[in-house]
Amino acid sequence: MTLRTLESLGSLAGRRVIVRCDLNVPLKGYRITDDGRVRASLETLNLLINQGARVVVISHLGRPDGRVAPEYSLRPVAQRLSELLGKSVGFVPETVGDEATAAVAALSDGQITVLENLRFSAAETSKDAAERRSFAERIAALGDVFVSDGFGVVHREQASVFELPQLLPSAAGTLISTELEVLEKLTTDPARPYTVVLGGSKVSDKLGVIEHLLPRVDNLLVGGGMLFTFLAAQGHAVGKSLLEADQIDRVRGYLADAEKRGVNLVLPVDVEIASAFDGDADHTTVAIDGIETSPLGTDALGLDIGPETSARFAEIVLGSSTVFWNGPMGVFEFDAFAHGTKAVAEALTQVDGLGVVGGGDSAAAVRALGFSDDQFGHISTGGGASLEFLEGKRLPGLEVLGW
């Protein structure tokens, strides 16, 4: 089947267009600390505004668990959208209700308003399909057509993602179209050598993608907190480093499978260890067989890949034609443990081919470390959705758009 795109909706001038964006940005207080997802929504929103559509933006932010939580309000996002679009953006402090209905009815052609956080209603994420549909029907009453452009949530069966596009003429926005185009390049005859770099805290979060990609990649590089489960599977002592002991046998299976398939599964040869989870903690670099024999002993806590590993990872990335990276190499929020993540990011900017940052913490990391989005081939807006795509899982929010 073919994904329905904006062109399938015909002229949108004067029509009320509900756009499901993913504006789930990190906030510190009421200040946005990374507006990447807001900027990613601009192309679709500008297209609609320029067509003379009456644009109604809906999104979630954080996990308010079905309650009205001011700290998760979309008001700061609406303000940032106004700045980036260079025009006034309205904000309605509810998702459905009389105030929302009145605000949408008052829109003129080319105007835009943002409704309050979808997840202030428990119905948005309810396990009860009837409850979700009822909520979706109330949202649908506000619009004439629906545009799905929140790629970060297409792997969820939620009211605004799954039920709502079934209630109105619907199509994917340009962000989703672009995400799919890039991800299909990673799964359909990618240019080789093809390298996947995986990091982040838990190996259990990446089990499916490892299993699905092992038959498809040339190199699999493992860093982040998950690396210590791999090291433990090889028999190394890891001190107090993050360890998922219940996954050791499964990881051993991946190591054996990689060897059998001739996949270059690369683990660190050195790590940065510290006395505590603190940016100012005592720290040192050790070989992987020296974690507990270091001066820090069994209290050693691994917080980054080491310099030799960083150089090795960067070399493999630079020699690749296709690279997908998901998950930081260390605790990048602390300067002392950001070196591995920075080394991979720097190499990715120089790839002669397609280099993809797989959303989530990886996207936040590259921006926090001073890289700009245009230095990479693509920065995904959906970490979890990207991984589930690469695992070959069904994505409900795309299925309802004809994909």
Quote the CA–CA distance of 49 and 211 in Å, as a whole number: 43
Q: Where are the domains of the chain?
A: 6-175, 183-390
Cβ pair 165, 142 in contact under 8 A: no
Burial of 60 (0-12, 13-18, 19+ CB in 10 A): buried
Quote the CA–CA distance of 398 and 38 in Å, as a whole number: 21
Other Cβ atoms within 10 Å of 253 Cβ, number: 12
- CATH says 6-175 is which class? alpha beta
Say which of 15, 16, 20, 37 is annotated catalytic. Answer: 37
Say which of 152, 239, 360, 382 is annotated catalytic. Answer: 360
60 labelled ligand-binding:
yes
Do domains 6-175 and 183-390 share one topology? The answer is yes
Right CATH number for 183-390 from 3.30.1020.10, 3.40.190.10, 1.20.1440.230, 3.40.50.1260?
3.40.50.1260
- Tell me, yes or no, if the pTM score tops 0.95: no
Chain centroid to CA 396: how far? 17
50 labelled ligand-binding:
no
348 labelled ligand-binding:
no
Quote the CA–CA distance of 36 and 383 in Å, as a whole number: 13
Say which of 208, 319, 353, 384 is annotated catalytic. Answer: 384
The separation between the first and the last C-alpha atoms of the chain, rounded to the nearest angstrom, is: 5
Quote the CA–CA distance of 100 and 356 in Å, as a whole number: 38
360 labelled ligand-binding:
yes
117 labelled ligand-binding:
no
Q: Which of 397, 402, 401 is nearest to 156 (CA)?
A: 397
86 labelled ligand-binding:
no
Other Cβ atoms within 10 Å of 351 Cβ, number: 19
302 labelled ligand-binding:
yes
**What Rg value do the Cα atoms of the chain yield, rounded?**
22
Half-sphere exposure of 241 (CA within 13 A, CB side): 32
Q: Is 360 a catalytic residue?
A: yes
pLDDT in tens, the chain (403 residues): 589 999 999 999 999 999 999 999 999 888 999 899 999 999 999 999 999 999 999 999 999 999 999 999 999 999 999 999 999 999 999 999 999 999 999 999 999 999 999 999 999 999 999 999 999 999 999 999 999 999 999 999 999 999 999 999 999 999 999 999 999 999 888 999 999 999 988 888 888 889 889 999 999 999 999 999 999 999 999 999 999 999 999 999 999 999 999 999 999 999 999 999 999 999 999 999 999 999 999 999 999 999 999 999 999 999 999 999 999 999 999 999 999 999 999 999 999 999 999 877 888 899 999 999 999 999 998 888 888 888 888 899 999 999 8
Strand 219-222 with 54-58, pairing = unpaired
Say which of 39, 75, 138, 202 is annotated catalytic. Answer: 202
Q: Is 200 a catalytic residue?
A: no
Q: Please identify which residue in the block is written with the tokens 């599964």.
A: 265
127 labelled ligand-binding:
no
398 labelled ligand-binding:
no
Q: Which of 141, 148, 49, 33 is nearest to 96 (CA)?
A: 141
